[in-house]
Amino acid sequence: MKTRRRAFTAAAVALALSLLPLAASAAEAWVASATEKIRPDAKARPQTEAHLAAARNEFAAFQVVVTGPAKRVSARVEGLDGLQATLFRVDTLDVTSPSAVDGGTGRWPDALVPAVDDVVGEQRNAFPFDAGSESRAVWVDVHVPAGARSGVYQGAVVISSDAGEARVPVAVSVYDFVLPSTSSLRTSFGLSYGVIAAAHGVSGDADAALRARYGQLALDHRITLTGLNDDGQHADFGHLDRFYGPLIDGTAPTRLQGAKLTAVKYVGGRTSVAEHAAWAKHAREQGWFDRLFDYTCDEPPLTCAWSDIPARAGAAKQGDPEFRTLVTTQLWDAEDHGVADDIDVMVPVVNWMDDRPGSAVAGDQRDRYDPFLASGPRKEVWLYQSCMSHGCGGTVNIGSPSESDRYFTGWPSYMVDASASRNRAMEWITFLERASGELYWETAYSFRRDPWSSQWDFSGNGDGTLFYPGKPSRIGGKTDVPVASVRLKMIRAGMQDYEYLKALSDAGDPELARKIARDLFPNAWSTDVAPEKFDQARQQIAQRILELTGKPMPAAVEAGFSGNGGGCGSAGGSGGGALLALPALALLALVPRRRALARAVAVAARR
């Protein structure tokens, strides 16, 4: 019997040794945080398990990366019963000019092609794909329903290819508090006239229906698209109610049940009292007047003269005395030009709310806005980011950057070649500056050409574009839908982070909320943060919320496995990631990883 066992062991060792060169070059599957961008030249890592933590009604996300060679790569989810998991292939955009000194050329991960889209639910062509000899990521979204129980959910993501399968265990710890479906932070992310029609080749009601789908996906990323109804039929309130009413009143088929637009932009004549009055009347009748605003001027004097503002604001106020006006400007500029009293919602650029040393407005300027806020019941301060986050013109000298080049680094940024943490930072800064809203000028600017090939605008990659046009000819299926970007996912993560900070403040510890946020972001131009820092901050916030509300931490978090809605904690031993096992390795099923195989060889050698 002993002789037979030795013979079998010797045969197994011989087989293992014969396969070692093959194993060394086999594809590997490993885990990465959602708050990092996995480029094609990324090396395999030892992390082979995903540990997430999320509140109820929150999205958690992570990435499973396949480092080739591998062909016909597919993914599926097992387990996680009671949660809702969706899968995406992460596509890359070839960047030929860096957005800033801290950007870069080459292929950057951005478009998320769904396996089954989360707008109309059609099968798409995310899988299979060929990884070649590169690292290619599969994005995993996990939505925790609002009614889910707290505790730990377990499952796995199974990656298959021509080489076999790898199983990546997943554990999701669910905190016993719930995030609202409608964001607590007001947002206005633009969607201009004609951009959807140009990219998708639609018009009329088909254009309106598709614009509504973009609005739906935006709500599931916790932002509001304003200008949705800027489709050429803005004077038809029946048309407005039919196509965009569900997004306004919370009856659209969003995954975040009941999610509503937090702002509705007036579309009509700039100085038409009659049109403003008609809009105000309809909004009051439908119950959303408190969200209606007039975008009175954008960055004066670039798009309008300072002297235009009183007349425009006057038309809105004559239409309805409580009609809100919004202008993107700084308080001191508005005061210098005598228009501060004409503005209800003042939106300064983030750079001039907390500027670098040496600036005329260096340091935090937020307290200067307190008298403005106290001057009327409808006064608000929002924030926006602009091309000043990466540089608004010219080229970047990477080898010998100028002082100006260096200024445009580190700010919150929605550029493709900015770090994921910078894509995620804006909402933390908004919380710290006690702003009640965020504005971003456009979300589909590059749609008049091919955004899958280039999004270079205003000296930035992705300035004004956060979606991709999901045409069936590109992503499969039958229905045109919007395709989300990695950057949009990071904005969603930032919006969820804001809800955590607000929940902690509301629960009774606003000082700790501000301390955690300030420790993470000491100023507005230092927003490159390691993914694990977000994890740690969010766990600290969640733990304090649960303490204040008398609820326990989930067991997995107490044991040290933590993650966040925009990323993940991970675990794994030394060496490479999980091998995509070849069929020939079936005899070695007990040693699926390199380190296990090495141990088996070592043990056999000692016998």
Residues shown for the chain: 607
Q: Are residues 168 and 201 in the same domain?
A: no
Residue 520 forms part of a structural domain: no
The token pair at 425 is 């930072």
Name 293's bridge partners: 265, 324
- CATH number of the domain within which 155 lies: 2.60.40.10
User: What are the tens digits of pLDDT across the range 483-539?
Assistant: 999 999 999 999 999 999 999 999 999 999 999 999 999 999 999 999 999 999 999
Distance CA 349, CA 426 (A): 11
Q: Domain check: are 197 and 171 in the same one?
A: no
pLDDT, tens only, 240-287: 999 999 999 999 999 999 999 999 999 999 999 999 999 999 999 999
CA-CA distance, 245 to 251, in Å (whole number)?
8
What's the mean pLDDT in 203-229? 97
CB atoms within 10 A of CB 301: 14
Expressed as residue numbers, the domain containing 17 is: 9-179+554-595
Query: Exposed, middle or buried, 511 (CB in 10 Å: 0-12/13-18/19+)?
Result: exposed
The CATH number covering residue 387 comes to 3.20.20
pLDDT of residue 557: 61
Co-location of 100 and 147 in the same domain: yes
In the DSSP assignment, the letter for residue 447 is: G
Task: DSSP for 343-360, please give it.
Answer: -SEE--BGGGTEEPTTST
Together in a domain, 310 and 170: no
pLDDT mean across residues, the chain: 89
Q: How far is CA 295 from CA 311, 342, 440, 463, 486, in A?
A: 13, 12, 12, 20, 28
CB atoms within 10 A of CB 468: 27
Which two structure tokens, joined as six digits, stand for 15?
């087989």
The DSSP H or E segment spanning 325 is strand 324-328
Q: Is residue 490 part of a domain?
A: no
Mean local confidence (pLDDT), 425-452:
98
Quick one: 264 and 389 in the same domain?
yes
Domain count, the chain: 2
Helices (H), 287-328: 308-319
In the three-class reduction of DSSP (H, G, I as helix; E, B as strand; rest coil), residue 572 is classed as: coil
